[in-house]
C-alpha cells in the first residue's frame, strides 16, 4: 500500500472536502483519506498509481498537485473502512434534518420579513443538507445512480441561488423599504441555535473520521454566517437602509452558486 499527499489549491472549506470524499470513495483500493484543511492537503492511502489518483482529483477542478508518495506496510492498523458507523450515520441524518428544517423556515419567513440575507442563509443551510445527504445516499450506490443524485441536487441548488440573485437585483431597483428587523434577528438567532445544536451533536461523537470532521468544520462555518446575518440586522437598524441586507444576500447566494457548480462538475466526472 502507498500513502500519497496532494495539495488542493481550491479546497478552502469542508464542502470541497466532502466532494473529494465522494469522488474517491467509489474506487476500490482507496483505504483512507486524511485531510489537513488549513494546509489544503489530503493524504490518500491507496493501491493505485499516483498518477491515477491525481487524474481523479483533477476532475474536481480544485487545482490538484502531487506532493509526494511513500510505501507503507499493508496491515490492519493502516487500513480503514470508509463506511460510516451506524451511530455516526444517525447523527449525520439528524444534522441533515435540522439543516433542512431551517432551510424551509428561513426561506418562508425571510420573504415575509423582506430580508434577503435570511433567505440566502436558508439556502446555504439547504446546500449543507445536500452535501450531508449526498454523502449518505451515495454510499453503496452504482456510479450511474450517484451521478444522477448529484446532478439533480446541483441543478436544484443552482436554480434557487440564481432566483435569489435575480430577486436581489430587482430589489436594488426599489430601496424604498426596510426588512422587518425583529423577525430578521429572531429567525437568525433560531438558525444560530440550530447550528449550535448540530455542532454539539457532532462534537459528542469524538470522531476522527474524515466525514465527521468535515461536518464539524462545515457547521462551524455556518455559525459564523449566522452571526454575520445577525450583525447585518444591526447594520440595517443603524443605517435604516436595506443595502447591508442585500449585499450580504448577494455574497451568500454567490457562495451557494459556487458550491452548486462544484457539485455539478463532480456529477460529470
Q: How would you write the chain as a 3-class SS string?
A: CEEEEEEECCCCCHHHHHHHHHHHCCCCCEEEEEEEHHHCEEEEEECCCHHHHHHHHHCCCCCEEEEEEEECCCCCCCCCCCCCCHHHHHHHHHHHHHHHHHHHHHHHHHHHCCCHHHHHHHHHHHHHHHHHHHHHHCCCCCHHHHHHHHHHHHHHHHHHHHHHHHHHHHHHCCCCCCCCHHHHHHHHHHHHHHHHHHHHHHHHCCCCCHHHHHHHHHHHHHHHHHHHHHHHHHHHHHHCCCHHHHHHHHHHHHHHHHHHHHHHHHHCC
Q: How do the pLDDT tens digits run along the chain, 269 residues long?
A: 899 999 998 876 656 776 787 778 768 889 888 888 778 899 999 999 999 999 999 888 888 999 999 988 765 444 444 444 456 667 778 888 888 899 999 999 998 999 999 999 888 888 777 766 766 665 555 666 667 777 777 788 888 889 889 989 999 988 888 999 999 989 989 998 988 888 788 777 554 454 445 455 555 667 778 888 899 999 999 999 999 999 999 998 888 888 778 777 766 65
pTM for the whole thing? 0.62
Amino acid at each position: 500500500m502507498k500513502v500519497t499527499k496532494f495539495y488542493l489549491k481550491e479546497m478552502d472549506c469542508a464542502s470541497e472536502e466532502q466532494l473529494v470524499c465522494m469522488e474517491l470513495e467509489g474506487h476500490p483500493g482507496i483505504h483512507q483519506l486524511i485531510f489537513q484543511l488549513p494546509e489544503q492537503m489530503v493524504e490518500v492511502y491507496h493501491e493505485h498509481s499516483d498518477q491515477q489518483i491525481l487524474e481523479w482529483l483533477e476532475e474536481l477542478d480544485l487545482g490538484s498537485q502531487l506532493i509526494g508518495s511513500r510505501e507503507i506496510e499493508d496491515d490492519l492498523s493502516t487500513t480503514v473502512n470508509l463506511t460510516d458507523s451506524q451511530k455516526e450515520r444517525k447523527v449525520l441524518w439528524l444534522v441533515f434534518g435540522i439543516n433542512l428544517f431551517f432551510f424551509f423556515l428561513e426561506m418562508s419567513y425571510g420573504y415575509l420579513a423582506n430580508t434577503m440575507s435570511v433567505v440566502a442563509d436558508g439556502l446555504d443551510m439547504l446546500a449543507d443538507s445536500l452535501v450531508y445527504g449526498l454523502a449518505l445516499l451515495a454510499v453503496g450506490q452504482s456510479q450511474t445512480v450517484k451521478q444522477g443524485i448529484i446532478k439533480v441536487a446541483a441543478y436544484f441548488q443552482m436554480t434557487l441561488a440564481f432566483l435569489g440573485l435575480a430577486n436581489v437585483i430587482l430589489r436594488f431597483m426599489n430601496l424604498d423599504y426596510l426588512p422587518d428587523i425583529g423577525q430578521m434577528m429572531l429567525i437568525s438567532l433560531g438558525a444560530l441555535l440550530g447550528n449550535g445544536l448540530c455542532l454539539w451533536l457532532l462534537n459528542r461523537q469524538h470522531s476522527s473520521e474524515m466525514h465527521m470532521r468535515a461536518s464539524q468544520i462545515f457547521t462551524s462555518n455556518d455559525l459564523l454566517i449566522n452571526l454575520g446575518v445577525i450583525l447585518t440586522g444591526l447594520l440595517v437598524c443603524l443605517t435604516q437602509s436595506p443595502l447591508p441586507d442585500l449585499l450580504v444576500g448577494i455574497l451568500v447566494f454567490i457562495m451557494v452558486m459556487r458550491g452548486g457548480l462544484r457539485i455539478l462538475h463532480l456529477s460529470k466526472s
